[in-house]
Amino acid sequence: MNLYFAPLEGITTYTFRNTHAEFFGGCDGYFAPFITPSDNEKIGMKCLRDINPDVNKTNVTVQVLTNRADSFLKFEDKIQGLGYDSVNINLGCPSGTVVKKNRGSGFLRDVEGLDQFLEDVFSKSRLKISVKTRTGFSSGEEMSRLIEIYNKYQMTSLIIHPRARADFYNGEPDMKVFEKAYGESKNKVCYNGNVFSAKHCKELSESFPVLEGVMFGRGAVMNPAIFREVKGGRTLETRELVEFTDILAERYLKVLGSEVYTIHKLKEVWMYMMWNYPEEKKILKAVKKSNRLPDLLAAIKRLPIIER
């Protein structure tokens, strides 16, 4: 069973991915945040810079957000030129701006259009294709129809986040819907959604013994050692988080050329990492209020040792 790092827009950039792989390891593959081809189909290197092989040192899967087969195929030409032989189609993003354009999970409400899109893509693409999906637009009851459509196409993996778009990230994933989809899918299935511990990952592998993989999102930002822990390695240490942040800070400064942008990036990451320290309200407040990089780094150095 493979362990994947989910794409989180603005957080899991190549700088974060490279540093995570170097510092913690254990992850079998990283999914880059989605790229949306522009309406005029012009795709320059600025759009593709996060997946530029020259700056990526990890096993990266490119993710595309589109509802047009012609757009997908032109994007395919671009990433093949960069040396990629696979791509992931995003049918899961619940963002209002994405859904409004009938992309991401918004595409799930148009099952006929979705089926035609997939037929055009799979009949013409030269890439290996995986799909990341939610279980429906309004409710998980829509998943049975979606599985019928997905079963028509040979995917490398069907990554299922067992929430409907209407759920956003609220409540718990619907495991009954996932179990049914897992049993009905002709494609290999990967689980994604609310995996925050190695114990939970083990429970998933025991409940669904032929899972192709488990994808970690927020749980892997909170605990970047989670892949190592799943594979029997040592648990996360506060010292590591501090050292990891120091390295990230140096690399963000070099890439972004701005202390302000670097602080913004680190705050995004630490809003998740602070979940490890629910009692440390004062330090959380200090992180949020930091306007200077030394202040943020000094705040996290005051954190207690994690006990797991």
Report the CATH number that the domain containing residue 52 is assigned in CATH: 3.20.20.70
Same domain flag for 76 and 106: yes
**Residue where a domain stops, chosen among 230, 252, 279:** 230
- Checking if the pLDDT of 125 tops 70, the result is yes
Residue that is written with structure tokens 């600025």 in the block = 46
The model's pLDDT over 44-94, given as tens digits with 9 standing for 90+, comes to: 566 799 999 999 999 999 999 999 999 999 999 999 999 999 999 999 999
Name the residue range of residue 254's domain: 238-300
| Average confidence (pLDDT) over 243-264 | 97
Tell me if 26 is assigned to some domain.
Answer: yes
* Cα angle, residue 170 at apex, residues 169 and 176 outer, rounded to 5°: 90
Q: How confident is the model at residue 43 (pLDDT cuts 50, 70, 90)?
A: low
Q: Please tell me the predicted confidence (pLDDT) of residue 47.
A: 73
* Residue 225 shares a structural domain with residue 247: no
Q: Would the pLDDT of 259 be above 90? A: yes
Mean pLDDT score of the chain: 96
Please compute the mean of the pLDDT values over residues 236-258 and round it to a whole number: 97
Residue 242 falls inside a structural domain: yes
Final residue belonging to a domain, choices 182, 207, 230: 230
pLDDT number for residue 306: 81
Residue 306 lies in a domain: no
Give the chain's length. 308
| pLDDT beyond 60 at 41 | no
Q: Based on the domain organization, do 114 and 262 belong to the same domain? A: no
Q: Is the pLDDT of residue 206 over 60?
A: yes
Q: Is the pLDDT at 187 greater than 90, yes or no? A: yes
Give the predicted TM-score (pTM) of the model.
0.96
- How much of the chain exceeds pLDDT 70, in percent? 96
For residue 274, tell me if it sits in a domain: yes
Residue 308: band (very low, low, confident or very high) from pLDDT cuts 50, 70, 90: low
Stretch among 41-45, 59-63, 235-239 having the lowest mean pLDDT = 41-45
Query: What pLDDT does residue 157 have?
Result: 98
What digits encode the pLDDT tens for the residues 153-177?
999 999 999 999 999 999 999 999 9
Q: Of the residues 209, 230, 251, which one is the last residue of a structural domain?
A: 230
Whether residue 5 is predicted with pLDDT greater than 60 in this model: the reply is: yes
CA 157 to chain centre: 15
Number of separate domains in the chain: 2
Please report the pLDDT score of residue 55 as a whole number. Answer: 96
